[in-house]
Amino acid sequence: MTIRNQFLSGPRIAPRPIGVDERTADTIDNAFLAYNAGRLRDACELFDKRMLRDDVTIGLALSGALTPAGLGMTCIVPLIEAGFVDWIVSTGANLYHDTHFGIGLEMRRGHPQMDDTALYEAGVVRIYDVVFEYDVLLKTDAFFRQLMTADEFQHEMGTAEFHYRAGRYVDERERTLDQSGSSVLAAAYRNGVPIYTSSPGDSSIGMNIAEMELRGYKLKINPSVDVIETTAIVFDAKQKDGRSAVMIMGGGSPKNFVLQTEPQIQEIMGLGEAGHDYYLQVTDARPDTGGLSGATPSEAVSWGKVDPNRLPDAVVCYCDTTIALPLLTAYALDRHPPRQPQRLYDRREELSDQLRMAYESAAGDRQPGEVIDKPR
């Protein structure tokens, strides 16, 4: 094949007209051919054909105000119920606002040009073009504080345990209100999907935990538990000859938390590993500003976060998550059969013990101040 023919070896651009009754997945395959539409098609194909294989463990990172816009109900819950998500790292805000829906509180569509001073005086809160009564916050705060008085919360725990226990209460409220499927927390509880929050104090949930500590209750969140558990999930996926995939919606702290599992294995613990196998990100952040939200998968290779041999299986789509995630979800549900849930929440202690034993075996007599050679 000549060099010219190599450059011209891609499929011809000759799409058919979009039909009246065309399925979403067919439209993506047919009409999303170039630019960021092309990257979104690449993301859909990566998710369907590679990431959703039975031997792949999928971590989902969520940042930005997604649940207030209803994406929990339209996308995240269906992905969980289909077995397409195995573990989650989310901002606390997404889980807090998700709870509004689960306990029967209302959020409504508004307009971004509303007068915020008038909204404040009327007791209405705005998230761009989503509006709700201030009382929604107060009732959600009261819900969390009430459940935190239960005996099962009176000890130190990681965020996955907290969210699992809280999810049971949200699930009970959902069933009482006959509105199953409205909450990510409840769906994750039912399917054994652990949910972690990388910055547990940076949300109204964390604020309420702090208030309950002032009252003398014993709930404390230990972030080190989350670091160990998430690392153990990825380590297990790779040790059993499987693969690890990350699906990143947005960026920020949740993006780093799903990706840092590999440097934790390699750089900190000194265990031989090469990085995540599949990388899918939707972001509106530029890479040239130096922020993590815009950092490319090729840059992540230098940190050991992504396997350099798997870069062809890395896709970044520059798009608003509220546009991309519904299309990605529709495509996956149309093209791929449901997977058996891994129920990783139920295996947290087992996986953490496995990681601990591997670390102890590799560390030997190594001292805390000793420099660790990069494992190969």
Mean pLDDT of 3-21: 92
Query: Distances in Å between the alpha carbon of 157 and those of 72, 88, 197, 219?
Result: 25, 17, 12, 8
> pLDDT value at position 292?
75
> pLDDT value at position 375?
56
pLDDT, tens only, 313-332: 799 999 999 999 999 999 99
> Is-contact 200 221, C-beta < 8 A?
yes
Is residue 33 in some structural domain?
yes
Mean pLDDT of 337-341: 97
The C-alpha angle 233, 238, 244, rounded to 5 degrees, equals: 70
Is residue 80 in some structural domain?
yes
Task: Report residue 196's pLDDT band, with 50, 70 and 90 as the boundaries.
Answer: very high
Mean pLDDT of 151-162: 98
Mean pLDDT of 97-101: 98
Is residue 10 in some structural domain?
no
Is residue 372 in some structural domain?
no
118: pLDDT strictly greater than 80: yes
Is residue 124 in some structural domain?
no
Give the whole-number percent of the chain exceeding pLDDT 70: 99
> pLDDT value at position 316?
93
Q: Which domain holds residue 141?
A: 27-105+135-361
Q: If you count them, how many residues does the chain have?
A: 376
Task: Report residue 124's pLDDT band, with 50, 70 and 90 as the boundaries.
Answer: very high
Mean pLDDT of 28-49: 97
| Nearest residue to 219 (alpha-carbon basis) of 140, 149, 292, 127 | 149
Verify whether residue 220 is a known catalytic residue.
no
Is residue 369 in some structural domain?
no
> pLDDT value at position 303?
77
Which residue among 218, 238, 305, 374 is the active-site one?
A: 305
Q: How many domains does the chain have?
A: 1
Task: Report residue 312's pLDDT band, with 50, 70 and 90 as the boundaries.
Answer: confident
374: pLDDT strictly greater than 70: no
Is residue 15 in some structural domain?
no
Q: What is the pTM of this model?
A: 0.95
Per the prediction, the chain carries an average pLDDT of 94
> pLDDT value at position 131?
98
> Is-contact 272 265, C-beta < 8 A?
no
368: pLDDT strictly greater than 90: no
> pLDDT value at position 23?
96
CATH for 265: 3.40.910.10
> pLDDT value at position 1?
64
Task: Report residue 140's pLDDT band, with 50, 70 and 90 as the boundaries.
Answer: very high
376: pLDDT strictly greater than 70: no
Is residue 22 in some structural domain?
no
Mean pLDDT of 110-137: 97
More confident position, 193 or 292: 193
